[in-house]
Amino acid sequence: MRILIKNGELLLAEGEGFKAKRGSVVIGGKRIEKVVLDGEEVSGEFDKIIDAANKLVMPGLINAHTHAYMSIFKNFADDLEFFDWLHKVEEVEDKMSAEDCYWTSLLSIAEMIRTGTTCFVDMCMRSKVVSEAARKSGMRAFIGRGLVKEADDPEALRRLNEFLEDAEMNTDSDRVKFILAPHAPYSSPQSLLRLVRETGFKRNMMATIHMSESQAEVEGIAAEQDGKTPVEFVAETGLFDLPTIGAHLVKATDKDIEILKEKGVSVAINPRSNMKLGNGFAPVSKMLEAGVNVCLGTDGSGSNNTQNMFQEMNFASLVYKGDEKKAKCVDASEVVKFATINGAKALQMEGEIGEISEGALADIIVLDLEVPEFVPRNDLVSALCYSANGSEVVTTIVNGEVLMEDKKILTFNESEVFEKCTEIAERLGMNGLEK
């Protein structure tokens, strides 16, 4: 299928930042065939033409860390300390069926599509149903099943083997990939991390893991591991020999940052989640100065309450300025890179996603500029972080397929998802209506 997106403002990477230029994008199949700037001729026949006049055409956003199945936990376990929150969530998680996780994952995906996310990295309980939800929706996804316990524990081996079976069942998809996901240093012992490393090399898989998310985690690991930080604990296992995305890193030390840089570990920051749980903020300025690749994630709806990457960009643009009392700290252009180019780098997909360029995969979103938050158009890059809220997204395209057009999701019945998820929350007693 050939699609022409014409007469838009194109957000193009230029130097260390971005620049909006008037033009059109030609999509041929799943890739961007041509980027045509204003004044250049567009030729050929098209199956679909999208008029992007008074609209911004930009790369789809990459949510580098989330838990899609947790959509029904929004506004459920709020205003709790980290481990109190975790235990309350786990009590309900244990009651969720595979079918529950399918519908709740679709609910998160609906929100992501509506707010411009085209790719997400997921840590879940049931990789089979999350992959089914991703495939149904047309989203690009990297799916990992949370792995815990010692490597020789029957439960750990069952989870890993089921995950690998799920991965084998999805080898025909060029959008849904699988990523190894040991949960965290406090729940994934070193024997398991070594097994994950070995599996990653055999299967050519990446890894993702929570690290240094709270002070309690840091103190617990230090007490059990002769003063080591969570990063040092994980590094000893060789896990970082795999391409790895570390989520959170709120309590990363200077030495941790050196290790992350040396090993090429990407860091997915989650400022809204970390703020809500009272965990603080990752030392992003130091990471950037050291050359660590920083990307951006929402975390699950249980600790964020949204899957909206525009809201996450807004927070990432602001909290570090306030925390470090430096107005120039972490500027808008850097944050847009976190959500696009840097996310692609973390997934080893540089030049494939996260940018609008000839030959790249056609993961594209279109935003309405005829809304108050974009008028006047003084600086569109700044507006993406400081003014936009995600509601401006009108069209979402992944792999050359239109998933949402004129704010209507085309690949699944959104009303059915709302109904199913409401029923699930009621059955689990999350809103006082237990059945």
Secondary structure, 3-state, 136-177: HHCCEEEEEEEECCCCCCHHHHHHHHHHHHHHHHCCCCCCEE
* Cross-strand bridge partners of residue 55: 368
134 or 77: which leads in pLDDT: 134
Cα(62)–Cα(401) distance, integer angstroms: 17
Residue at 415 is within a domain: no
Specify whether 164 is located in the same domain as 36.
no
Q: Is the pLDDT of residue 157 over 90?
A: yes
Residue at 353 is within a domain: no
Specify whether 311 is located in the same domain as 385.
no
Arithmetic mean of pLDDT over the chain: 95
127-137 and 98-114 helices, crossing angle to 10°: 40
87 — pLDDT class (breaks 50, 70, 90): confident
Specify whether 144 is located in the same domain as 28.
no
Q: Is the pLDDT of residue 431 over 80?
A: no
CB neighbour burial string for 330-353, b if at least 16 within 10 angstroms, e if fewer = bbbbbbbbbbbbbbbbbbebeebb
Q: Is the pLDDT of residue 434 over 50?
A: no
Specify whether 287 is located in the same domain as 277.
yes
Specify whether 86 is located in the same domain as 130.
yes
Residue at 45 is within a domain: yes
Specify whether 262 is located in the same domain as 315.
yes
Closest CA to 26 of 36, 12, 11: 36
**111-146 per-position pLDDT tens digit:** 999 999 999 999 999 999 999 999 999 999 999 999
pLDDT at 80 (0 to 100): 82
**13-36 per-position pLDDT tens digit:** 998 899 999 999 999 999 999 999
Overall average pLDDT of the 252-279 stretch: 96
**Cα 145–Cα 114–Cα 302 angle in degrees, nearest 5:** 45
**334-366 per-position pLDDT tens digit:** 999 999 999 999 999 999 999 999 999 999 999
**243-262 per-position pLDDT tens digit:** 999 999 999 999 999 999 99
432 — pLDDT class (breaks 50, 70, 90): low
Q: Could you give the C-alpha distances from 143 to 58, 130, 172, in angstroms and in order?
A: 24, 7, 15
Q: Is the pLDDT of residue 75 over 60?
A: yes
pLDDT at 10 (0 to 100): 98
CATH number at residue 75: 3.20.20.140
Q: Residue 248 belongs to what domain range? A: 61-346
Q: Is the pLDDT of residue 64 over 80?
A: yes
Tokens at 162, concatenated: 């089921």
Dihedral, CA of residue 187, residue 277, residue 274 and residue 366, to nearest 10: 110
* Cross-strand bridge partners of residue 408: 405
Looking from the CA of 226 toward its CB, the CA atoms found within 13 Å total: 2
Q: Is the pLDDT of residue 399 over 50?
A: yes
Cα(20)–Cα(72) distance, integer angstroms: 37
pLDDT at 242 (0 to 100): 98
The answer to whether 212 and 230 have CB atoms below 8 angstroms apart is yes
Residue at 425 is within a domain: no
pLDDT at 408 (0 to 100): 98
Percent of the chain with pLDDT over 90: 90
CATH number at residue 396: 2.30.40.10
pLDDT at 435 (0 to 100): 38
Cα(8)–Cα(67) distance, integer angstroms: 34
Specify whether 215 is located in the same domain as 323.
yes
Specify whether 45 is located in the same domain as 65.
no
Q: Is the pLDDT of residue 263 over 60?
A: yes
Q: Could you give the C-alpha distances from 235 to 125, 258, 295, in angstroms and in order?
A: 25, 12, 20
99 — pLDDT class (breaks 50, 70, 90): very high
Specify whether 82 is located in the same domain as 214.
yes
Residue written as token pair 């993406």? 384
Please give the distance of CA 189 from its chain centroid, rounded to a whole number.
25
Please give the distance of CA 181 from its chain centroid, rounded to a whole number.
14
Tokens at 367, concatenated: 């935003």
Residue at 424 is within a domain: no
**286-307 per-position pLDDT tens digit:** 999 999 999 999 999 989 999 9
Specify whether 27 is located in the same domain as 78.
no
Specify whether 303 is located in the same domain as 390.
no
Residue at 101 is within a domain: yes
Total count of domains within the chain: 2
* Cross-strand bridge partners of residue 32: 27
Secondary structure of the chain in the HEC alphabet? CEEEEEEEEEEEEECCEEEEEEEEEEEECCEEEEEEECCCCCCCCCCEEEECCCEEEEECEEEEEECHHHHHHCCCCCCCCHHHHHHHHHHHHCCCCHHHHHHHHHHHHHHHHHCCEEEEEEEECCHHHHHHHHHHHCCEEEEEEEECCCCCCHHHHHHHHHHHHHHHHCCCCCCEEECEEECCCCCCCHHHHHHHHHHHHHHCCCEEEEECCCHHHHHHHHHHCCCCCHHHHHHCCCHHHCCEEEEECCCCCHHHHHHHHHHCCEEEECHHHHHHCCCCCCCHHHHHHHCCCEEECCCCHHHHCCCCHHHHHHHHHHHHHHHHCCCCCCCHHHHHHHCCHHHHHHCCCCCCCCCCCCCCECCEEEEECCCHHHCCCCCHHHHHHHCCCCCCEEEEEECCEEEEECCEECCCCHHHHHHHHHHHHHHCCCCCCCC
pLDDT at 39 (0 to 100): 81
* Cross-strand bridge partners of residue 329: none
Overall average pLDDT of the 42-57 stretch: 95
Specify whether 73 is located in the same domain as 47.
no
Residue at 435 is within a domain: no
Tokens at 51, concatenated: 């008029």
Q: Provide φ and ψ at 381, rounded to 5°.
A: -65, -45
Q: Is the pLDDT of residue 433 over 50?
A: no
